[in-house]
Amino acid sequence: MDEDEELLQDFLVEAGEILELLNEQLVDLEQRPKDSELLNAVFRGFHTIKGGASFLSLTALVDICHRAEDVFNALRTGERDVDASLMDVILPVLDVVNEQFDEIRTGQEPTPAAPELLTQLEALLSGDTTEKKSATKTAQAEESVTDPGPDVDAEFEAIIDAAQNAAKTPEKPANSNEEISADEFEALLDQLHGEGKHASVPSDNPVGTTAGNETKNPEAGSASSSDIITDDEFESLLDKLHGTDDSAGGNSPIIEKVEKSENIETEKLAEQKKPAVVALEKTETKKVKAPAAAKEAPAQQAETTVRVDTKRLDDIMNMVGELVLVRNRVATLGLAAHDDEMAKVVSNLDVVTADLQSAIMKTRMQPIKKVFGRFPRVVRDLARTLKKEVNLEMQGEDTDLDKNLVEALADPLIHLVRNAVDHGIETPEQREAAGKPRTGTVILTAEQEGDHILLLIQDDGKGMNPDNLRNAAIEKGMMDAETAARLEDRECFNLIFAPGFSTKQEISDVSGRGVGMDVVKTRIEQLNGTAEIDSEEGRGSIIRIQVPLTLAIMPTLMVKLGEQIFALPLASVNEIFHLDLTRTNMVDSQLVVMVRDKALPLFYLRRWLVAGAAYDELPDEGHVVVVSIGAQRVGFVVDKLIGQEEVVIKPLGALLHGMKGLAGATITGDGKISLILDLPGLMHTYHP
């Protein structure tokens, strides 16, 4: 049972990778129906899955893959063309296969595909009858003959008779160094491929060496002419072909002689215009040459990869995190010791720990293509539902990201892509009326910027009008007309992330309920990321998402409020400056500070986080940490700045679990516990 379970897990891993590719390959095939390599790749994918499922007796999976394989075999042979109606059947087949895989992973027997779906697959092959196949082959045979006769069977018999006569025709005496006799050639083929599989040599021929008979004509053995090969040469040839000769690589003169002779035999038969004989001789030529080519091939390289359980990687990453905490503690003690030797050791430890941390992080990295690979299918299906023409372009698919982030970003990105197709791209008629191509374009881009990943979702659709967004916010009671009038255009665009906000007049199964975009923003902020949107009416929109490379170890800014230390995610920090009360004002009962002639909302963190500080007299001095929370910039007043430090996020205990505004805890370099702030949650909780 253990062996069976191991085989099953290997099958799920390998076939799962094939399924991920098939999802993208099928959509590409619809765009490039004449791409034979892509068609063959899809066929091999279904064939491989079927083979593995058959070995494991997964009958339901075998049945549907077998029918899909038959369809793609018909496509490969040109009996049917790739079109949208065919893909409307094949893509649901892939969905069923994925569902069956999910059932197998949970230890269940896969549910058989619906009979209606199997019937649709059979309907795709309804034109592929035996009579049509026979008619196609007959037509191809007639085209291959120069002067076809009325009776195909009689002509085929004539071809066979001609081939046999050609084999029995005595060879003319060889007068050059490029030929071996017909007897020797036939004997050689019998030795290589089994006696009796080729046209026989007349048995009354007294000259030459025959297969299976060690006696030979003395004259043949003593002949010195180059048109006859000796026993030694023949044995050497077999050694070359079967890899038993340890001599230097490259074809020997004997092999070259045989190859030249085979080519001459092929040319003679081709001159007689007998296609069946020509095909036979070409096949034999390939069979003789293949082992020689294999002899020259380099030795197969050893396996360079190994599969590792992701839980083991997570455990290693946790241990590296603990090592980072110990490194911070040792660094703090080293600074306090004022010892040069200790400082050198601490410096070396810092370098080694950083290298180890980087190496372990790379083992957890996965290309973001694992997420991007889902989008061609999403865009294709949605475009057909909405009767739009949309072209999806993906850039930077090889950008690496922490595997946890790859999984967490899948749903938000799918929603944003669906939103771009539904809200952004116009119908073909609307695009033509606006002077645009009928086909809209959605571009997905991923690139690394320092310790962050930048994701862009861009479309060339109708864009957004900021005034319409202001009016929609007023109608929904989100703000009054005066507040809406003060909003900048970019702030208007970011209103679409507000809960319940939607400009769609009609509610459909795709959009219009005002839910989704706020969930997307919340999810991205939970990943310590930011989301911003910019748009131009008539030109399109672009959404920028920035997320950290990893969630395991976070760079933070350590600050002090009273006697308590807090950590602010460094990714959200824009700038820091000293508090100057002469530059502060009250606007709409909100304290603001003027920064570069713009009002920045100002908040005292002590009032929110330190017990009893709400009623204490707030300090006149301090530092302002400017942070970005979504599209909003605010300033937090802190008592003291400690510095930057990499921390490992630890979950909160039962007492603080679920508390708003706190993302976790960590151990600082001096051994104390510090709370890590969740800035978006902090703002939503204390300043909604």
Give the pLDDT of residue 51.
Answer: 87
| HEC per residue, 341-409 | HHHHHHHHHHHHHHHHHHHHHHHCEEECHHHHCCHHHHHHHHHHHHCCCEEEEEECCCCEEEHHHHHHH
Rounded distance between C-alpha atoms, residue 417 and residue 225, angstroms: 77
What contacts 614, CB < 8 A, 6 or more positions away?
607
Buried b (16+ CB within 10 A) or exposed e, 81-112: ebeeebbeebbebbebbeebbebbeeeeebee
Give 386: exposed, middle or buried? Use CB within 10 Å, 0-12, 13-18, 19+. middle
- Domains assigned to the chain: 2-133 (1.20.120.160), 168-200+228-294 (no CATH), 310-364 (1.10.287), 367-548 (3.30.565.10), 553-686 (2.40.50.180)
Please write the tens of the pLDDT for every residue from 242-295: 554 444 444 444 444 444 444 544 444 444 444 444 444 444 444 444 444 444
Rounded distance between C-alpha atoms, residue 458 and residue 441, angstroms: 8
Quickly count: other Cβ atoms within 10 Å of residue 310's Cβ.
12
Rounded distance between C-alpha atoms, residue 329 and residue 645, angstroms: 11
Give the pLDDT of residue 303.
Answer: 63
Rounded distance between C-alpha atoms, residue 74 and residue 571, angstroms: 54
Give the pLDDT of residue 286.
Answer: 43
Please write the tens of the pLDDT for every residue from 412-435: 898 999 989 998 899 999 999 999
Give the pLDDT of residue 261.
Answer: 47
Give the pLDDT of residue 291.
Answer: 45
Give the pLDDT of residue 391.
Answer: 92
Give the pLDDT of residue 272.
Answer: 47
Q: Tell me which residue of 395, 493, 379 sits closest to 440, measured CA to CA.
A: 379
Ranges in the chain, pLDDT < 70: 1-3, 127-182, 185, 188-303, 502-515, 552, 611-619, 630-631, 688
Quickly count: other Cβ atoms within 10 Å of residue 51's Cβ.
15
Token output for 490: 């970019």
CA angle 657, 663, 665 (to 5 degrees): 80
Give the pLDDT of residue 281.
Answer: 44
The enclosing H or E element of 524 equals helix 517-526
CA–centroid distance for 169 within its chain: 60
CB 81, CB 130: distance < 8 Å: no
Would you mind telling me the total number of residues written for the chain in this entry?
688
Running DSSP on this structure, what letter comes out for residue 527? T
